[in-house]
Amino acid sequence: MSNIVAIVGRPNVGKSTFFNRLIQRREAIVDAVSGVTRDRHYGKSDWNGKEFSLIDTGGYVKGSDDIFEAEIDKQVELAIDEADAIIFMVNVEDGVTGMDEDVARLLRKVTKPVFLVVNKVDNGKRAEDAVEFYSLGLGEYYTIASINGSGTGDLLDALVDALPEVEEQEEEEVLPRFAVVGRPNAGKSSFINALIGEDRYIVTDIAGTTRDAIDTKYNRFGFEFNLVDTAGIRKKSKVKEDLEFYSVMRSVRAIEHSDVCLLVVDANRGFDGQVQNIFWLAERNRKGIVILVNKWDLVEKDHKSTNEFEKHIRKQIEPFTDVPIVFISALTKQRIFKAIETAVEVYKNRSKRIKTSELNETLLPIIDNYPPPAYKGKFVKIKYIMQLPTPQPQFAFFCNLPQYVRDPYKRYLENKLREIYDFTGVPVSVYMRKK
């Protein structure tokens, strides 16, 4: 579970460039995951061995200038509520603007660490100009040039020092954690109420294990797990319910903190962009995923409806289509236990461990029959396979020329692993390593 850092500020001060610089620094170290990152406003970064999640609020503001002001205020308020630290970015070229003063006014009341960052300071003259930002009343500021990265080191040193220590969960037994996520009004609360409506199944309520999600220890069908509810969290009077940023911000913590995500989709609204954002968030965090299409009882349907709807969702989530989709109604309790049984299956798939000897006996002959295509006249020979000791399925394929194995072949290997060992609902990572 990592801390959340939000980058706030008015449009065009360089928030996205800074954000991209921070998450790419990390992505350069980790193997790039094949496939596209669909949502570029959320990423992970680390500095001095401390990991944190980064949210670029700029990507969520849409609209004309007058709408901007209201939206930005909303986002800053949300960031203040949800993030552990806030980076407030301004731009030396424009000097202090009215909108900057607005944001500063909101941030002055905050007890959390706030870092005032003056961007585009790439020479001595501009460093002198930056002095005027003292007038925002936020104390010291950091000067950076996000385009070439100068100054970011000092800022990050101070940032990770100020982040609160992340408390590790201390539980005698580590129970699987299922997070119920989705956009507002999709029926997350109704689903959870339908599940735990009978009080005798609830063992304990652990409030405040995460700062804002409620954990319910649930025991049924001989299976015990923690249900992480993001729905019933403090309703924000100030926040418009449909704000995309709100759902994502909310889901970040719950997703990072879970083993399996139950993504609740409103059948009437379909699998829209906001739901897709949350789906890719879970996928990028390598969590198990079950898609629950709720309010299915309210949809006009014929014998083909379910297949059509399912086909549409699978099209949207390519290439990761091996995800269970359950049609439910929280209101009539239709298939809600099927939803939990499916989540349990996905959890088991995610924790599956395959013996190295078995992997090699099964897969090496398949690879011999269909080896990686030659690239630039070079032939790749895969010699050995092992599963890495990570919480989710990751496999290392050792070969002579890892750099020549292209993405389509990695996907082929992933599909073979899925076919043979059943990893339904779980992202699988395939890495090529030098033998």
* Annotated binding-site residue? 232: yes
User: Is 189 annotated as a binding-site member?
Assistant: yes
pLDDT number for residue 423:
95
Residue 167, pLDDT score? 64
- On average, the pLDDT of the chain sits at 81
| Closest residue by Cα to residue 323 from 349, 300, 304, 301 | 349
16 is in an annotated binding site: yes
Q: What is the pLDDT of residue 361?
A: 95
- Annotated binding-site residue? 371: no
Q: Annotated binding residue at 73? A: no
One-letter identity of residue 97: T
Q: Is 297 annotated as a binding residue?
A: yes
Tokens matching residue 213:
């999600």
For residue 394, the cross-strand partners are 429
Q: Return d(Cα 81, Cα 308) in angstroms, integer.
A: 40
**pLDDT for 387-410, tens place per residue?**
999 889 999 999 999 998 988 999
Q: How far apart are CA 43 and CA 40, in angstroms?
A: 7
Identify the segments of the chain with pLDDT beneath 50.
26-39, 171-172, 199-212, 232-242
Question: CB neighbours of 104 closer than 8 A, spacing ≥ 6?
Answer: 88, 116, 136, 137, 138
Say if residue 119 carries a ligand binding annotation: yes
Q: In sequence order, what are the beta bridge partners of 432?
A: 397
**Does 368 carry a binding-site annotation?**
no
Neighbours of 247 (CB within 10 A): 22
- A 10 A CB-CB count for 214 gives 18
- Other C-beta atoms closer than 10 Å to the C-beta of 412 total 16
Confirm whether residue 11 is marked as ligand binding: yes
Q: Where are the beta strands (DSSP E) in 111-206?
A: 114-119, 141-143, 177-181, 202-206
SS3 at position 115: strand
Strand order in the sheet with 394-399: 382-387, 394-399, 429-434
> Is 373 labelled a binding residue?
no
DSSP letter, residue 167: P
13 belongs to an annotated ligand binding site: yes
Q: What is the pLDDT of residue 343?
A: 93
**Would you say domain 177-351 falls under CATH 3.40.50.300?**
yes
- 184 annotated binding-site participant: yes
- Is residue 425 part of an annotated ligand binding site? no
Q: Where in the chain is the domain with CATH 3.40.50.300?
A: 3-162, 177-351
pLDDT at 14: 84
Residue 182 annotated in ligand binding: yes
Q: Which CATH number fits domain 356-434: 3.30.300.20, 3.40.190.10, 3.20.20.80, 3.40.50.1970?
A: 3.30.300.20
- Is 231 marked within a binding site? yes
pLDDT at 172: 45
Instruction: Please give the span between the terminal C-alpha atoms of the chain, in angstroms, as a whole number.
Output: 33
Is 294 annotated as contributing to ligand binding? yes
57 belongs to an annotated ligand binding site: yes
In the 8-state DSSP scheme, what is residue 133? G
Query: Any idea which fold 3-162 has?
Result: Rossmann fold (3.40.50)
β-pair partners for 205: 216
Annotated ligand binding at 187? The verdict is yes
Spell out the residues 6+ positions from residue 143 whose beta carbon is closer than 8 angstroms to its own: 92, 117, 118, 121, 126, 127, 130, 151
Where exactly does CATH 3.30.300.20 map onto the chain? 356-434
Residue 261 pLDDT:
95
Q: Is position 43 annotated in a ligand binding site? A: no
Q: Does the annotation place 120 within a ligand binding site?
A: yes
Look at residues 180, 329, 178, 182 and name the one whose alpha carbon lies nearest to residue 241: 182
Is 130 flagged in the annotation as binding? no
Listed in sequence order, the DSSP H helices in 257-301 are 273-284
